[in-house]
Amino acid sequence: MNININNQMKKKKGFLVIAHGSRRDEANQQVLTLVKRLRDYFQTDMFEGAFMELASPSIKDGIKTLSEKGIEELIVSPFFLFTGMHYSKDVPALIREAIEEIDGRIGFKMLKPVGMHPDIFDLLKDILYEDAADQLEFKHLHPHRIEDRSMEIIENYIGNNNIPIEQKPVIKRVIHTTGDLDFLKNMVFSEEAVSEGLKAVREKKIIYTDVTMVQAGINKRFGHEVRCVLNSPEVVRGAEIEGMTKAAYSIKMLNHRLDGNIVAIGNAPTALAALVDMIRHENVRPALIVGVPVGFINAMESKEYLRTIKEVPYITNRGRKGGSTVAAAIVNALIKMGFASVAEF
């Protein structure tokens, strides 16, 4: 299955990571290793590293390499700490000079230096962790206070992030379940995703899952029916005949039974891609898609493919993270919001 998640993009982009450059080859190699990891992460060779001075490749060399790959727009990520003279004057001048000489049709955009990124706190936290960890002390809390205190800590991290109020309980539940604050910034909600999800859970629509782990993790206290057909004989046989994963075939087999119901996918990118295809080409219309597959192959791609649809509301996240616990946490958050006046869980 080949899916094109870039059909909205009009320009082919190249990405140039620029560092100052050092007389120490070891320091320069660290930058080039970083670029190699970016290529692996995004599964593309459209990333190049370059140095302002003292090392190779130069900025001109990096732009030339990307130009030979047919780029129309250059995205420059300066590997500097702050917006000093190199960022504001020297590097843009070198880029303009190189583009004018190589291919004047290429446009470029400068991103902010790494020191301006809000995650600089996380970087410093990780650097300090080993020296600070031996100062940690075990906290004795009443069992009823543990979750409340956890949510208070998460709320402090959320701070002034301008997260829409209806999304906050979902994001907080995911962070609480995973212990991973990255979900604070990588969750993605389509328009009316929460309101449509709440409507579906209050009406006790069927919740279909891609794997049994998601099925097992969803709270059924209020009588919600949660189905997973992954291991049915029909799916096992059909997947083998069609040469598909069982998860993808199970979604394909369910087809219009998904209409008006919730689909929660936490494991299988193939299932999510198959579902998006069915929405596009077979007019399948779930009430809500929770699409957060985890992994290194096609997890990001399937989630970006999901974000191309307009016909069905969805909740997803950017990047490779996700999984069954995340999918279940999102659905559980909606259930808790939908039945908050009945009971807490």
Task: Cite the active site residues.
Answer: 176
187 near 177, Cβ under 8 Å? no
**Identity of the residue numbered 22:** S
What are 146-149's contacts with CB under 8 Å, separation 24+? 147/176
For the chain, percent helix, then strand, then coil, each to nearest 5?
Answer: 50, 10, 40
Burial 61-70 (b: 16+ CB within 10 A, else e): ebbbbbbeee
DSSP code string of 49-115 = EEESSSSSSBHHHHHHHHHTTT-SEEEEEE--SS--HIIIIIHHHHHHHHHHHH-TT-EEEEPPPGG
Distance between CA atoms of 196 and 206, rounded to whole angstroms? 14
Query: Is residue 103 exposed (0-12), middle (13-18) or buried (19+ Cβ within 10 Å)?
Result: middle
